[in-house]
Structure 1
Amino acid sequence: MTAQWSSKESLVFFLVAVLVYVFPLILADYFYVEDSFRAASGYASWRAEGRFLIDGFYHALSLSNGAPDTFPLGLLVACVVMAFALRKLAFHYFSSVNVCSASVVLPMFFSPLFLSDLAYKYDGPVITVGVALVMFAITFKCERKTLEWGAGTVLLCCALCIYQPLLNVFVGLCCIELYRAINAKKDTRDLALLAGEKLTQAAAAALFYLWVVVPFMGKERQGMLAWGDDWVSIVFQRLENAEERIRPLYTGGSAWLFAGMAILFVLGFIGAWWSALRDRPKASTKVLMSLAYVSIVPLLIICVPGIMLVFFYENSDSRAMLGAGPLLMFMLLVIHPLLKARHRHLTVLVVLPIIVLVSISYSYGRVLSLKKTLETSVMTQLAYSINASPALASVGVFYFNASAQDYWLPASAGTVSIVPGMPYLVAANFLFLPEALARIGITNVVQASHEHSARVRLGRDARPIVDTLFYAIYVEGGDGYIVMKKQPREHPDRGF
């Protein structure tokens, strides 16, 4: 367990690890949210979202100007890139790498919150490449400092053109670099140079994105939280909301493990703090170092939602919490030397959290499979209702009405009781989207706009042609209206 690995052996380990982690998602083969209409059209574009490099990824992958459904090819390519990035990061943090030290960096990819990104057949692989680019930006070293700075900035720019919240990952890794520099007893000047280098890289990448990419984005994607007297309180309220949604992940069945990790982390963090300041000669230097040191953990916590806190529309969905990876890795990075100082074989304990994270991935994959089964069953029932009812034979178009509903998947009740954060990770407040019906041959169902919604078009005395546990179908003026019921278990008379 403590034998040192060569660079090639480390690469093989990380490649196997990431493939094992994504295997349940490949097995589930689930069309997650936008995947359905992107697969159906084959010409999806992310430019209006400011993520044009995703287009480039699929153009290169398919050697076409479209984005055909090639899953899991894109994910497999991304896994190879991630394996190289993890190897680079491991040798950046450790002079010698073994299974224990390699496990320390795995949360960069094994974060439970990242599962919601990986679930996307289209977005997930490219976001994985984006995380790898950020890791390369941190670990790239060159004798010419200007080249090192420039290469890191370009890599960060590319990452932002994939997904804006990847800036959270960069800032989180920069906080870890500050921690390592203080522990290495770098002087104040070196720390200032490090901070200046990372700040200017982030600023340059952000300015590039604002000037070059943002003008091509849709207006709804450009809104930021307006500055005002209550700006700070709104940001802190959003941070609290995000923590409240994430909390079930570390207070569920594995709470004992996370509690143990927290205790070891606090002991390791305080011990490293004392060791780093012990030999500092000046009191003023100790104060400055202490201020920098104690700011690391709060900054890493804020980086979990990160820039999502200042967007106009609040978004605390799990797929946007990319800063969780650096935070989890930092905890293991602090715990590892604490255990090693007691006995080198104790470092094997850092593997335990990795086992839990892999277990969550496989549970997540099973839940997606169960959700896929339920969706397919309901869509098949809906297709039968449309085709078998004479009253619906002449309907040219059906308007699909689906209100937001709570997580409802009875077959996953056992998993949710043990992993209460699972509904948050699945993050789908609807049964399915109308574009998914193309997979069973139904192509005349479209998402209802407000103008064509059942609430606007149907009178209160309207009676359904078909009324089932999951949906009701109405006809008005030659058009059909499919109304998905909010809580199927309650079987309400109307769903709108």
Structure 2
Amino acid sequence: MSRPIERRPSVQGNERALSQSHVLLFFVVLSFVYVFPIVRADYAYVDDNWRALLQAQDAWRNQGRILLEGLYRALTFSEATINIFPLPLLISVFALALAMARLTFWLFPRPGITSCLVILPVLCNPFFLGNLTYQYDGPGMVLALVAVICAITCRIERRSVRGLLAALLIAVALSLYQLTISLFIGLCIVEYIRGVKDKVAVQALLVTLVERVVQLIVGGLIYFFTAYQLAIDTRGNHLPFDQQWFEVVWQKFCFSMQMLGLLTASAGNGVAVALLLGASAGFVLLMSNIPQMQGRLSGKLGVALLYLLGLVVLVCSVPGMMLFVAEPNLEARNFIGFAAVLVLLFFLNHELFGRVWPGLRWLLIMPTLFMFAFSYAYGQVIIAKKELESAMAHYIANDLVSRSELRSVTKYYYLRAPGDGNWLPRGHGAMTQMPLLRYILSGSNSVLHAQFFPRLGINNVIGGEHSVFAQLAASGRVGAPLVDNRFYSIYVAGAQGFIVMKPIQEDENYNQHWPAVP
């Protein structure tokens, strides 16, 4: 790991510098407050439904995330993925609070409360709510962030040892969740810009950057020759390099930028524009330090070029490696790199406000409050989603156990309707005012999962394929539905049953049925 760059104490104005214990207390309290809505909701999110039934125990290993499998074996004292939520989340969030406290002192020599606000987006990245919602995968993703932060903030004096330890921590992060490497890249850019702010000598700044690149490469190689050798899941395969490669990458990039636009709409244009304008002014202000740095003119020109290119790399790190893999879907949980973007935006505003009047730094409370408000709004949305899933399951379960004509069925195949996962009447208002909520809820979600039914004492419902049902229907082996209602139909073919969910066509807006107020 690169040696910490010497820098002058920053001016905090009238803001009192915090001790290490106070900084840690700040992050512990606010971190637990932030994740409370998710703990309270206790919602089984997508993969959680089948992991809780101990299905596909080697799924993480097949994805090259072997350490996540080891984590659950250690926490559950067993060989299975027993659901012990929220214990893993609480442990991992506490570890992240420790890491964020460490990151604060790495970025600020004498941090105050507003300095801590700059670091808080590491956890409070709105897109990261999609990761935290996973009861099984979420804690591992959080610990991957911890590994990345420890790699960045390593202070061992000996360069070779520091670099090797950082590379090992990068490999650990990749073995927990590969996409967290975007945060490492983003924090490297923040470190580079911090070096420009502190007018570090050109040679020292460039050496630090080279060290980071070497650490990233070595860490990637360690991961490739260890945990990655166990990966057999094809979702991580790279895009074929053909005539359509650039077009697909560009489409993914444009889509990710559109999703960032949803965040702007959710936060309110005023807050978002003010944050961006302040960061832009701060970026230009710090760039004026480059001519004052010690070094040759050619070196300063190189620093200036890298300073500008850093923004391009930072933006591209938001979708990160997802731009180059065959997986077509870009989910909110993939945007881990956006945490570094927020940290930089907060950092640049913090620096600008400090130059104008240090008291202005308290304005960072406004976007911070939005992040917390967004988390609590999301908590209410997933509670509504949980209630709707439970209601749907009870509707179906009542038919399965009460209708005599279904008693001969030994196995049911559940066929979800495409694109039905985000229909949520109770959450319509929130998702209209904060459109990013609908995206975080995930398009890969469903109005109901087949693995929900064991909660209701029904063990013979499994996931099915529409193509199989269509073939049976075409051959005449499936007759008229025995149950046909607003949300689903139930068909029988011999000893097999098919629960076919219907596409939900009606508007989820409850208020449209009320007369307009004159």
TM-score range, shorter chain: over 0.9
Note the C-alpha offset of 1:222: 4.3
Structure 2 letter corresponding to 1:3: R
Report the equivalent of 1:447: 463
Partner of 1:430: 446
Computed over aligned residues only, the root mean square deviation of the Cα atoms, in angstroms, reads 1.9
The reply to whether residue 21 of structure 1 matches residue 34 of structure 2 is yes
Q: Is contact 2:322–2:334 with CA below 8 Å preserved after alignment?
A: yes
Comparing 355-364 with 49-58, which one deviates more in the overlay? Answer: 49-58
1:207-246 maps to which residues of 2 (within 5 A)?
A: 207-246=221-260
Structure 1, residues 380-420: CA drift from partner, whole Å, max 9, x if none? 11100111111111100001111321521011111112101
Residue 473 in structure 1 maps to residue 486 in structure 2: no
SS at match of 1:469: coil
Which string of whole-angstrom CA distances, capped at 9 and with x for unpartnered residues, describes residues 180-224 of structure 1? 222222333223321221111111121222222233212413411
- Matched letter for residue 251 of structure 2: Q
What does the per-residue CA deviation read over 1:47-104, in whole Å, with 9 as the maximum and x for residues that have no partner? 0111111111111112222221111100110111001000000000111122111010
Which residue of structure 2 lines up, in the alignment, with residue 5 of structure 1? 18
The alignment partner of 2:30 has SS state of: helix
Tell me how far apart the structure 2 counterparts of residues 175 and 400 of structure 1 sit (CA, whole Å): 48
Comparing 338-347 with 226-235, greater Cα deviation is found at 226-235
Matches of 1:253 and 1:13 in 2, distance apart? 24
CA distance in structure 1 between the partners assigned to 2:233 and 2:53 by the alignment: 26
Identical-pair percentage:
29
| Counterparts of 2:329 and 2:495, CA distance in 1 | 39
The separation in 1 between residues aligned to 2:507 and 2:362, in whole angstroms, is 49
Conserved? CA contact 1:118–1:125, under 8 Å: yes
In the TM superposition, structure 1's runs of 4+ consecutive aligned residues that sit over 6 Å from their partners are none
Match of 1:494 in 2: none
Q: Please name the residue that 2:481 is paired with.
A: 464
Unaligned runs of 5+ in 2: 1-13, 509-518
The equivalences for 1:359-438 within 5 A come to 359-406=373-420, 407-428=422-443, 429-438=445-454
For the residues of structure 1 that align with 2:384 and 2:286, how far apart are their CA atoms?
A: 46
Contact between 1:225 and 1:311, CA under 8 Å: does it hold in 2? yes
Query: What is the rounded CA distance, in whole Å, between the counterparts of 1:445 and 1:490 in structure 2?
Result: 29
Aligned length: 490
> Which deviates more, 65-74 or 270-279?
270-279
Secondary structure class of the residue paired with 1:340: helix
1:178 is matched with which residue? Answer: 192
Separation (CA, whole Å) in 1 of partners of 2:124 and 2:213: 27
Provide the secondary structure at the position in 2 that maps to 1:161.
helix
Distance, in Å, in 2 between the alignment partners of 1:277 and 1:382 is 70
Judged with a 3 Å threshold, the aligned counterparts in structure 2 of structure 1 residues 181 and 462 are, in CA distance, closer, same or farther, namely same
Selected match of 2:333 from 319, 325, 332: 319
CA distance in structure 2 between the partners assigned to 1:373 and 1:25 by the alignment: 15
Does 401-410 or 256-265 show the bigger shift?
A: 401-410
- Using a 3 Å threshold, how does the CA distance of structure 1 residues 154 and 275 change in structure 2: closer, same or farther? same
Q: Which residue of 1 aligns with 2:11?
A: none
TM-score, normalised by the number of residues in structure 1: 0.95
Q: How far did 1:281 drift? A: 6.6
Q: Which moves more between the two structures, 70-79 or 245-254? A: 245-254
Q: Could you list the runs of 5+ residues in structure 1 that have no partner in the other structure?
A: 492-496
Distance in 2 of aligned mates of 1:469 and 1:196? 61
Does structure 2 conserve the Cα–Cα contact (< 8 Å) formed by 1:161 and 1:209? yes
Distance 2:150 2:327 in 1: 31
Aligned to 2:45: 32
Moved more, 271-280 or 375-384: 271-280
